[in-house]
Copies of this chain bind each other. A is one copy, B any other.
Amino acid sequence: MNLILLTQDDVNDSRLARVRDPRRLAHLRQVHRAQQGDVMTLGIENGPLGRGTLLSLDEDEACFDVSGLDQAPPEALPVHLVLALPRPRMLARSIEHATALGVKHITLLHSRRVEKSYWQSPELDPAKIHQHLVLGLEQARDTRMPTVDTARGFRPFVEDRLPTLLEGRRGLLAHPGMPQACPRGIDDSVVLLIGPEGGFIDWEVEQMLAAGCEGIHLGQRILRVETAVTALLARLF
Contacts and interface: CB of A to CB of B under 8 A. Distances in A.
A6 interface: no
B102 A141 contact: no
Nearest to A223: B100
B231 A140 contact: no
Nearest to A229: B230
Contacts of A231: 101, 230-231, 233-234
A160 B222 CA distance: 37
Contact of A235 (B96, B223, B235): B235
Contact of A230 (B140, B222, B227): B227
Contact of A2 (B96, B222, B234): B222
The copy count of this chain in the complex is 2
B219 A230 contact: no
Interface in A101-151: 101-102, 139-142
Nearest to A224: B139
Contacts of A185: 184
The bracket for how many chain A residues form the interface is: 20 to 34
A24 to B, nearest CB: 18
A28 interface: no
A74 B141 contact: no
A221 B184 contact: no
Contacts of A233: 231
Given A97-B227, A184-B185, A102 B221 contact: yes
A230 B220 CA distance: 16
Contacts of A223: 100-101, 139-140
A166 interface: no
A222 B139 contact: yes
A101 B230 contact: no
